[in-house]
Amino acid sequence: MIMKTIVALVDLSDLTFKVLKQAHALATAFNSEVIILHVVAKVPVVVDVGLISPVIMQEPKPAAVQQHYAQLLEMRDSLIKFGVRASVQQLEGASVDTVLAETRRQHADLIILGSHHHSTIYNLLVGSVTSDVLKHAHCPVLVVPSDTDAPEKKS
């Protein structure tokens, strides 16, 4: 299997380290480049209008966007320090379709992302990025489970 480009989708959660660890291992094994891809999501804000307080989505503040980008650069530099060719890309408010289009544009041979297990109601109302990527990706996808997904060890 030739794997030239690995796209690591990161959300800057506790899963990011695990996703990057997998990207590092595979990039080292296959001499691949890693593109760290992050979407800066819109921020939910509750509008207080009395009994009914709707939630609207606002663009993130520029300082938050800059902070996220600085974190991505640190991740990139860490991979480079360990001999992996790496770059970063940050998209603002992108949809899953936009993310998948970007992975195609980057000619990704593998997408790595983390899986957060939310409730069934959450998935029905909000959806699951992991699920959407799995259904529509043009290349193989490696899903890294969260620590809470690990089965309990028996003594």
* Overall average pLDDT of the 63-91 stretch: 96
- Domains detected in the chain: 5-147 (3.40.50.620)
Strand partners, 39: 91
Q: Is the pLDDT of residue 76 over 50?
A: yes
* Overall average pLDDT of the 22-48 stretch: 88
Q: What is the pTM of this model?
A: 0.81
Contact of 112 with 79, CB cutoff 8 Å? no
- Cβ neighbour number for residue 144 with a 10 Å cutoff: 20
DSSP 147: G
Residue type, 1: M
With pLDDT > 90 as the criterion, what percentage of the chain qualifies? Answer: 52
CA distance 113 to 130: 7
- Look at residue 54 in the predicted model and tell me its pLDDT: 75
Q: Is the pLDDT of residue 70 over 50?
A: yes
- Look at residue 153 in the predicted model and tell me its pLDDT: 47
Q: What is the pLDDT of residues 12-34, one digit of tens each?
A: 888 899 999 999 999 999 999 99
- Look at residue 89 in the predicted model and tell me its pLDDT: 96
Where on the phi/psi map is residue 38: left (φ > 0), alpha (ψ -120 to 50), or beta?
Answer: beta
Residue 82, both tokens:
């360990």
Contact of 23 with 8, CB cutoff 8 Å? yes
